């Protein structure tokens, strides 16, 4: 591979976009006013999207916009104007999952590179090559592919076609996200961004003649037969690069700004190490344990996927505050995100550096008054940091 792969991070709003850029994303993917697979995410208004484009380009990064739902007939009439707006806004690519949307994009936004979403389910070189002939710049491979098959797809597709693959985050139990379970059970269409995630629910068995009597299906307190573990490939980026993957994608537009910051920072260091042939420092693997997650596995890439997970999320830390400003001597203005107390030991997360310990001492509020705790949500906090920290840097508190 002659060109360094791209690190692609998610952003559900402007703050998460700024954090992704600060902590090393080469590109960020967002959703605009519609046609995206995460309708519950905050998403970007037109004005915010323009701000996002400017922020990404100022950092030398790219901004991609998701348009990867499967639109119904009465939704198509809204697409031309939206696609034209995205091109005029200067976004760097459009993520699509529908041949009709591809055709409309080529007509109304012909300068936008087209990235075919994992929702399309590309599992072979014939499909990838056909999409390239139809105008695709990038294909996001189906998540069901092992590394050996990705190598073969790379060998049998045009070298100009970039292959993108997920490296971290939640995994859908269905075939690359095309699932009707939510539709059947709640009337919320997963293919239009409204998934209620019934695959994560806890199920019991009811015998027909004993209504109201619920029986456990397994001995461990119930079963979540479709609740997949989370993907983590941070220790296997050299293999992904060797397979020819040109864009490494982190899942999580609905996840927190803290998640975006920590995971982007960790994978930035891992990708740089893999590209330069260096051994990965274990601190970056440990960082992925500090965000909310299910138990990790390597998905279908290596061997068989992990077993289903019969519980919720786990985490070793919580975000405490975010840096709003900081002078050259480390005097910082923070915004509170969760409660902490004077005397607590926090960690400052800086781009490309292991966490820096910070003692919460001599804290003051917005009016300069001494404070002993941060009990009010989003309150202003003044705290001296050991180093100058850029805006959007994160402070966290490890759990006992």
Which tens digits make up the pLDDT trace of 240-263?
999 999 999 999 998 999 999 999
Residue 154: inside a domain: yes
Give the pLDDT mean for 335-354.
Answer: 96
pLDDT of res. 360: 97
Cβ-Cβ contacts under 8 Å for 33 (sequence gap 6 or more): 43, 44, 45, 46, 82
With 80 as the cut, is the pLDDT of residue 38 above it? Answer: no
* pLDDT cut 70: percent of the chain above it: 92
Q: Say how many residues make up the chain.
A: 400
Q: How far apart are CA 339 and CA 191, in angstroms?
A: 38
Cβ-Cβ contacts under 8 Å for 367 (sequence gap 6 or more): none
Going by their DSSP bridges, the two strands 114-116 and 247-250 should be labelled as: unpaired
CA torsion through residues 372, 375, 380, 386, sign: positive
Hey, what are 77's tokens?
A: 């009439």
* Segment 378-392, tens digit of pLDDT: 999 999 999 999 999
Say yes or no: 46 and 71 in one domain. Answer: yes
Q: How far apart are CA 126 and CA 9, in angstroms?
A: 28
Say yes or no: 268 and 156 in one domain. Answer: yes
Give the pLDDT mean for 104-119.
Answer: 96
Show the domain range for 389: 317-398
pLDDT band at 2 (very low <50, low <70, confident <90, very high): confident
What domain count does the chain have? 3
Q: Report the predicted TM-score, pTM, of the whole model to 2 decimal places.
A: 0.89
CB contact at 8 A, 119 and 177: yes
Say yes or no: 245 and 350 in one domain. Answer: no
20 phi, psi to nearest 5 deg: -60, -45
With 70 as the cut, is the pLDDT of residue 223 above it? Answer: no
Residue 312: inside a domain: no
Q: In Å, how far are 209, 322, 371 from 380, measured between CA atoms?
A: 60, 10, 11
pLDDT of res. 185: 81
Residue 308: inside a domain: no
Say yes or no: 245 and 169 in one domain. Answer: yes
CB contact at 8 A, 82 and 119: no
Nearest partner of 261 among 218, 313, 212, 323, judged by Cα: 323
Instruction: Tell me the CATH number at 330.
Output: 2.40.30.10
Residue 309: inside a domain: no
Say yes or no: 203 and 321 in one domain. Answer: no
Say yes or no: 86 and 234 in one domain. Answer: yes
Residue 351: inside a domain: yes
Cβ-Cβ contacts under 8 Å for 193 (sequence gap 6 or more): 36, 37, 38, 39, 40, 69
Say yes or no: 19 and 167 in one domain. Answer: yes
Say yes or no: 22 and 101 in one domain. Answer: yes
Residue 306: inside a domain: no
Say yes or no: 79 and 160 in one domain. Answer: yes
**More confident of the two residues 299 and 269:** 269
Say yes or no: 186 and 233 in one domain. Answer: no
Residue 170: inside a domain: yes
Residue 90: inside a domain: yes
Nearest partner of 178 among 195, 164, 154, judged by Cα: 195
């Amino acid at each position: 591979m002659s060109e360094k792969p791209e690190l692609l991070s998610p952003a559900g709003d402007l703050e998460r976009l700024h954090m992704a850029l600060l902590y090393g994303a080469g590109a960020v993917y967002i959703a605009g006013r519609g046609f995206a697979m995460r309708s519950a995410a905050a998403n970007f208004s037109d004005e915010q999207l323009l701000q996002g484009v400017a922020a990404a380009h100022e950092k030398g990064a790219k901004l991609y916009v998701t348009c990867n739902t499967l639109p119904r007939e009465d939704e198509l009439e809204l697409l031309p104007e939206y696609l034209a707006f995205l091109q005029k806004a200067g976004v760097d690519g459009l993520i699509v999952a529908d041949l009709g949307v591809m055709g409309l994009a080529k007509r109304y936004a012909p300068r936008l590179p087209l990235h075919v979403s994992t929702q399309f389910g590309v599992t072979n070189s014939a499909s990838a090559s056909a999409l390239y002939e139809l105008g695709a710049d990038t294909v996001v491979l189906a998540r069901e592919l092992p590394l050996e098959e990705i190598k073969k797809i790379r060998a049998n597709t045009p070298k100009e076609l970039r292959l993108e693959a997920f490296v971290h985050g939640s995994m859908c139990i269905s075939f690359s996200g095309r699932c009707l379970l939510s539709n059947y059970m709640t009337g919320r269409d997963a293919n239009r961004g409204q998934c209620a995630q019934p695959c994560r629910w806890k199920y019991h068995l009811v015998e027909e003649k004993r209504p109201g009597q619920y029986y456990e299906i397994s001995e461990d307190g119930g079963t979540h037969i479709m609740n997949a573990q989370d993907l983590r490939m941070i220790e296997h980026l050299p293999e992904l690069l060797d397979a020819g993957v040109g864009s490494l994608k982190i899942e999580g537009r609905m996840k927190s700004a803290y998640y975006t910051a920590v995971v982007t920072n960790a994978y930035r260091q891992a990708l740089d190490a893999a590209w330069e042939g260096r051994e990965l420092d274990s601190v970056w693997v440990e960082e992925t344990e500090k965000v909310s997650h299910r138990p990790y596995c390597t998905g279908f890439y290596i061997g068989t996927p992990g077993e289903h997970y019969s519980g919720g999320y786990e985490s070793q830390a919580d975000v405490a505050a975010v840096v709003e400003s900081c002078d050259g001597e480390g005097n910082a203005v923070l915004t509170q995100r969760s409660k902490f107390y004077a005397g607590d030991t926090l960690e400052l997360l800086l781009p490309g550096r292991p966490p820096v310990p910070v003692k919460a001492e001599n804290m003051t509020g917005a009016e300069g008054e001494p404070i002993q705790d941060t009990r009010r949500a989003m309150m202003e906090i003044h705290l001296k940091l050991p180093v100058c920290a850029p805006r959007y840097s994160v402070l966290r508190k490890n759990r006992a």
